[in-house]
Each structure stands twice: as C-alpha cells, then as structure tokens.
Amino acid sequence: MREAGIAPVVTLHHFTSPRWLAALGGWEWAGTPAAFERYALRVLEALDGLPAAVCTLNEPNAQVNSYVLRGMKAADCEDAIVAAACKAQGSERFGSYFMGDSLRVRDVCIETHRRAVEALARAAPGLPCGLTLALQAWEPGEDGSDFHRHLFDTARRPFYDAVRGDAFLGVQSYVRFRTGRAGFLPARPGVPIDRWGHEAAPDVLEAALREAHRETGTPLIVTEHGINTDDDAQRLQHLAASLPGIARCQADAIPVLGYFHWSLLDNFEWRSGYAQKFGLYAVDRQTFARTPKPSAAAFAALVAQQREADSISQGNSRT
C-alpha cells in the first residue's frame, strides 16, 4: 500500500477475539486491557512503521446501543449461544464483544482504548491513534426525548468523554433513527431508505460529524460511510449528496481529516451474511471475480475533484 501511495490506517480490533480471551471472560475480564496493550505493541512492532494511523477498537458502543434498546436485558437467544460457544471451545466461560453485561463491556473497552493509546504514544511518538464509534444520527421523535437522553447518556456520552485529547475520532455513520418512548420509530414516508428500511438521507453524515465535534472537540476522520443498496444509481446519488457535508463542516472550522467509503467490495455483514450490498465493486461468490460498479468510477472522480480543489486552495494560501 505504501508503494502504491496509499496511507494504511490499521484497526487493531474489529469484533473478533481469540478463543483464549473469550474463555477468560472476554471483554468483561479485568485483564483484557493489559492483554490488549501487549497485543497493540506487538502489532506495532511487526508492522515496523508502516501504519499512517491506528484505530484501537471498532465501534465498541454498538453493543451498548443494542443493550439499551432491549431494555437493558440480554438477547433472548444469548444463553443458548453462550452455551454452544462454551461447548465448542471446551471451556466453562465465553465472553463476547456483543454479549454479556454490556455496561461492563463498555467500561472494559474504554479502559482498553485508553491504555492502548497511551502505550502506542510511548512506543511511537507522533503516530495518530483514535477510536471509531457507530454514530448513526439520532433524533427524538414525539414523546421520545426521555428515551433519547437515556440512550445518549448510556451508549454515547461515556465514549465521547473517553476520546477527548486523542489524535482523532473515527465517525461511522449511515442512517438516521428517531426515538420514541421506548425505542426507535419506523422510517418516515418519503425519506430515502436503505436495503434494511432505515432512513438513509444524505445529511446523516454531516449531522454525525457536527455532533461528534460538539461533544468532543476532537479531530474527526470518517472511517465508515456508505449505503446498503442494490441500486447503484442510489449509491452514486447518495455519495454525491453526502460528501459536500464534509466541506460544510470544514468551512465551519470542524477538523475533518479524511474519509473512507464503506466499502470497496460487497462484503460479509455480521448478522446478514453476503446479502447486503455496500460495495463499489460487486463480488461473484463462486469465482471471486470483482466487477466495478458505476459508483466506483464516480467516487474516483469525486476524490480527484477534491484533490484538485485542495491543491488550488493550498496554492492560493501560499500566494
């Protein structure tokens, strides 16, 4: 990637965990932050100066969102899943990123992030390190302000508090949810929706960026953004309408440092297999042939256009 002129941004943990860690209690175990610190340093040593930036954990707030939406209860199928996992790995315990005491997992994730950032700063001064968060746009609907506040204070504010002073916060945003008395409301009629039926309006990204900056004051990188759709024309339209929101944020002195589209390829989604379509490239799951969609060329053109605009802006500032 370096030889191709691409700056690699490495995410150290994207949901999967070692079986030995799960057997010790996973992300509820008090020893996880120290174990992760050793792992982060080992990865840094192995990559030998190649990363341009490091994300510690991938959206650890997502599991807390689900927990709050279930009324602070475990999922109905959780006991059976844990029992099967214990049997499969031959242990008495199984601790997952997405199951168990979600508030305990939240606190262990926050401590893990802080320890990793501090260790990486000592080992590689100047290497930007941050955390990525799932920041769908939340909006209280009628009679939904109390639940909205509870959801925000439980699943979002503790993470915002944890990232102040970091080199960046990774913003991962796709859709808008409106909150009712006890959960999210259905999508409104007439609003663009994705393949899941969620509101996927182009202003969602800008709203997430503005909230993240307001709450943290931390520089931002869009580490995930896109749309789940079979209609590539919708993807192209969504991209073209969403990206100007970044420029508007920057014009208002919000430091948005970069943008990653999710995703390059149609990918595996954790709860949905290969059915969902986020990619700029289609993938034939039998032959693995990769075919660019029209949105791939359109995205490349948008990137080139932005680079040209940045170059002109920098030239004007020098003169």
- Top CATH class of 135-312 equals alpha beta
Task: Order across the sheet with 220-224: list the strands.
Answer: 9-13, 53-57, 129-134, 168-172, 220-224, 256-259
Residue 73: what pLDDT?
86
Does residue 272 have a cis peptide bond before it, meaning omega lies within 30 degrees of 0?
no
Is 127 a residue whose pLDDT tops 80? yes
Asked if residue 262 has pLDDT above 90, the reply is yes
**Distance in angstroms (rounded) separating the CA atoms of residues 314 and 305:** 14
Mean pLDDT, rounded, for 46-50? 95
pLDDT tens-digit readout, 149-206: 999 999 999 999 999 999 999 999 999 999 888 888 999 999 999 999 999 999 999 9
- The pLDDT assigned to 217 comes to 98
- pLDDT for 312 beyond 80: no
With contact defined as beta carbons under 8 Å apart, do 221 and 261 qualify? no
The percent of residues above 70 in pLDDT, for the chain, comes to: 98
Is it the case that residue 232 has pLDDT exceeding 60?
Answer: yes
Domain ranges within the chain, ordered by starting residue: 1-55+73-129, 135-312
Taken as a whole, the chain contains a residue count of 319
How are beta strands 281-283 and 290-292 bridged, if at all? antiparallel
Per-residue 3-state assignment (H helix, E strand, C coil) for 96-141:
CCCCCCHHHHHHHHHHHHHHHHHHHHHHCCCCCEEEEEECCEEEEC
Residue 235: per-residue pLDDT: 97
The tokens for 310 are 């940045």
Q: Which of 135, 169, 2, 155 is nearest to 69 (CA)?
A: 155
Q: What is the pLDDT of residue 307?
A: 80
Flag whether pLDDT at 135 surpasses 80.
yes
Portion of the chain with pLDDT greater than 90, in percent: 80
Instruction: Give every CB contact of residue 137 below 8 A, 6+ residues apart in sequence.
Output: 173, 175, 176, 177, 203, 204, 207, 208, 211
Tens digit of each residue's pLDDT (9 = 90 or more) over 59-93: 999 989 888 988 888 888 999 999 999 999 999 99
Q: How confident is the model at residue 277 (pLDDT cuts 50, 70, 90)?
A: very high
pLDDT beyond 80 at 311:
no
Provide the pLDDT for residue 309.
77
**Lowest model confidence (mean pLDDT) among 23-32, 44-53, 300-309:** 300-309
Q: For the chain, what is the mean pLDDT?
A: 93
Is the predicted pLDDT of residue 20 greater than 90, yes or no?
A: yes
